[in-house]
Amino acid sequence: MQALESLESGVRMYSRSLPAVFCRACGSIMLTEDGRKIIDFLCGAGTLNYGHNNRRFKASITDYLASDAVIHGLDMATPAKLEFMDTFYSVILRRRNLQYRFQFTGPTGANAIEAAIKLSRKVTGRQNIISFTNGYHGMSLGAIAASGNRYYRKASGVSLSGATFMPYDGYLGPDADAADYLQKLLSDESSGVDYPAAILLETVQGEGGINVARKEWLQSIQAIAKSAGALLIVDDIQMGCGRTGEFFSFEFANLSPDIVVLSKSLSGFGLPLSMLLIKEECDAWQPGEHTGTFRGNNLALVSATAALDLYWRDDIFAQGVHRTGEVMRHRLESIAAEYGNRFSVRGRGMAFGFDCGAPELAARTARTAFEKGLMVERCGPVDQVIKFLPALTIDSETLNDGLEIFEHSLDEALKQTRPS
């Protein structure tokens, strides 16, 4: 642990809030070097939707490695890549009547967001990207320009340009319609808002505090994008791959985005893999116009294919996510109800936020939870929301144990907070 302080940059983050050395992990449990078992409700911020070291398809990776198959080949064709594309097409796209081309980008979510933004500018010949309050899209300059958080924006060190922020669903309170506001600004020749290349959004804002957009709002935004001649980009990096109880988080609203951005849980195993889904008419790229060394890593494509094969060939897995999500909602709402209307619970599928109202209480609760054996992180504008992203494969006993630890931790944190 001493190496962290003396050798690792001050930028380190999770090793501060989760002070332990983690040596093994399986399913929803992480083991620390000193023998503690920690229930994981963070899951790599949504990267481990199928849990750690999923035994049901881990062998796909070890077999691939053992066979001397190609690991790195830039974006050359390999059987692993062809099989992934075939599987994604038949298991995910065809079953949903969706037609997209694949673009494998560099391995991080931010890489893929950059590509999406760049492509929308190329397609439309416009520059402006409409993004939303509390949105989060990554740390590279194009992505951070479209992200709301002031702390992160400030750290970029240059003026960030090219994005205009609009209020997300609910941001203006229950009585104002944020979509009407956007519509008005885009249709008014004198509003000061340039015609956008794209409207970029998350259907549930992950880092922004688990803010859930309504179906009607999402549909309005899609219609507004269309009438403004802008592309609709859905950032499904955190909420995609099953987190909301459907493979794509926008299925419930019947959206048809021009570009979909996938990363985090796409490889299914925590390996880096990012991809854009692009409508054919928007695929304006010339060969090599957007390139990169690590695109479509073969090992990650192999595990991604295995995860799709295992969990998405029918609706059983998705139905399980809905059921487990309802258990979570019920439990979190009843915890909130014990304390009157002080706290709010938000979420969809198996992504939930418990809004503690104050960052101190959320911090104390998360810290206490970690001491008791539960890993949760915070999100929201001032980190006042406790975020629950358990593995979609979690068993009900571990889920209940984790929720119970949360309940006790909140209770203890409140007692510490109360003036004596």
Packing angle of the helix pair 298-311, 58-66 (nearest 10 deg): 140
Site string for ligand PLP, 124-163 (x = CB under 6 A): ------------xxx-------------------------
* Closest to ligand PLP by CB, 134 or 238: 238
Contact call for residue 238 and ligand PLP (CB under 6 A): yes
Contact call for residue 263 and ligand PLP (CB under 6 A): yes
3-state helix/strand/coil string of 23-37: EEEEECEEEECCCCE
CA dist 155 and 119 (Å) reads 26
Contact call for residue 295 and ligand PLP (CB under 6 A): no
CA dist 416 and 420 (Å) reads 9
Minimum CB separation from ligand PLP for residue 142, in Å? Answer: 11
Minimum CB separation from ligand PLP for residue 44, in Å? Answer: 9
DSSP character string of 166-225: EPPTTTT-TTS-HHHHHHHHHH-TTSSPPPEEEEEE-SEETTTT-EEPPHHHHHHHHHHH
- Backbone φ and ψ of 196, nearest 5°: -85, 150
| Tokens of residue 112, six digits | 């893929």
Q: Tell me the window of 70-78, 91-99, 102-110, 388-396 that interacts with ligand PLP (CB under 6 A).
A: 102-110
Contact call for residue 377 and ligand PLP (CB under 6 A): no
CA dist 37 and 31 (Å) reads 5
Question: Can you tell me which of 202, 246, 258, 383 binds ligand PLP, judged by CB under 6 A?
Answer: 202
Contact call for residue 294 and ligand PLP (CB under 6 A): no
Minimum CB separation from ligand PLP for residue 189, in Å? Answer: 33
Q: Tell me the window of 52-60, 151-159, 235-243, 364-372 that interacts with ligand PLP (CB under 6 A).
A: 235-243
| Tokens of residue 9, six digits | 């940059």
| Tokens of residue 327, six digits | 């258990």
* Closest to ligand PLP by CB, 54 or 238: 238
Question: Can you tell me which of 48, 85, 110, 385 binds ligand PLP, judged by CB under 6 A?
Answer: 110
| Tokens of residue 123, six digits | 């397609």
Contact call for residue 109 and ligand PLP (CB under 6 A): yes
In the complex, the residues that contact ligand PLP under the rule CB under 6 A are 45, 108-110, 113, 136-138, 202, 206-207, 235, 237-238, 263
